[in-house]
Structure 1
Amino acid sequence: MEHIMETPTLKAPAGRFTGDVHLNMIETPSAPAHLASALVRFTPGARTNWHSHAKGQVLYVTDGVGLVGTRDGSVVRIGAGETVKCPAGEEHWHGATDTTLMAHIAMVVGDGGGDGTTWLEPVTDEEYTAALKLTGR
């Protein structure tokens, strides 16, 4: 058994996020494990860039209200206690609404050489505003 007393809160890299995003790594796996997980906190309006995961991603919302969008224009509004599964290879983004913070636990299965995430361009303000409108804001 390993008891980890605390993990440092880090500012998420500006090259992969818009707005203020903070994360605490829960698990950074070493072989033979492959599951990486982190608690990610988004301030209002903050969001990830477009990205995909080679083996998919699971998001479990712990607090607040947020959005998850896909390239086909689908957007879901998510709240505490809800889970979103993003399939392997699907380009998507996630973040807080414009008025409420959102925190989630992000879980990604890697291949031992990383977490299989491909980071893409930022979600534009126009794309974000359109997502808010689609979900009733």
Structure 2
Amino acid sequence: MKKSSFIEKGNPVPADYFVGDVNVNMLLDVADYNTIMAIVSFDAGARTNWHTHTNGQILIVSEGIGYYQEKGKEIQIIKVGDVVQIPENVEHWHGASHKTAMRHFAMIPDSATDKTEWLAPVTEKEYNSEIITD
């Protein structure tokens, strides 16, 4: 039996793909179940770059308040208990709100064949493009 804990904050992520302070705790990798599952911790204001997944992605918010946005659409507030189902190849970003940290589980199905394409950082102008209340 393998055992892991989602309580642990994990390790800092590469600044190449994220803005702000973000940690990831890998819970499953492709060798285990052909699924990547991690818990990602975003400090307030932290977020991913724009990116896509060829096999889609599922986010389950476990703490705090965050944002999710698909290219060309409005920013959405995500909070504890929300499940976000991101379709294949949809350009998007996600992260914490302005004032509140956020943690979510991130899952990528069929991860052996998934290609994640990391794109440009979410700029301050994009991040602040909507008036949002936490």
Question: In terms of mean alpha carbon deviation, does 88-97 or 4-13 score higher?
Answer: 4-13
Alignment match, 2:98: 98
Cα shift at 1:96: 0.4
Structure 2 residue ranges without an equivalent (≥5): none
- Aligned residue identity for 1:62: S
Q: 1:59–1:105: 8 Å Cα contact kept in structure 2?
A: yes
Structure 1 residue ranges without an equivalent (≥5): none
Once the two structures are superposed, residues 49-73 of structure 1 have per-residue CA deviations (whole angstroms, 9 ceiling, x without a partner) of: 0000001000000000000011112
Change (3 A) 1:5 1:97: closer
Which structure 1 residue ranges, 4+ long, deviate > 4 Å from structure 2? 5-8
Change (3 A) 1:34 1:79: same
Alignment match, 2:85: 85
Cα shift at 1:22: 0.5
Cα shift at 1:19: 0.1
Distance in 2, matches of 1:95 and 1:5, equals: 21
Q: Secondary structure at the match of 1:126?
A: helix
Cα shift at 1:111: 4.6
What TM-score, normalized to structure 2? 0.90
Following superposition of structure 1 onto structure 2, how do residues 1-137 of structure 1 map, counting pairs within 5 Å?
A: 1-4=1-4, 9-30=10-31, 33-112=33-112, 115-131=114-130, 133=131, 135-136=132-133
Distance in 2, matches of 1:124 and 1:35, equals: 30
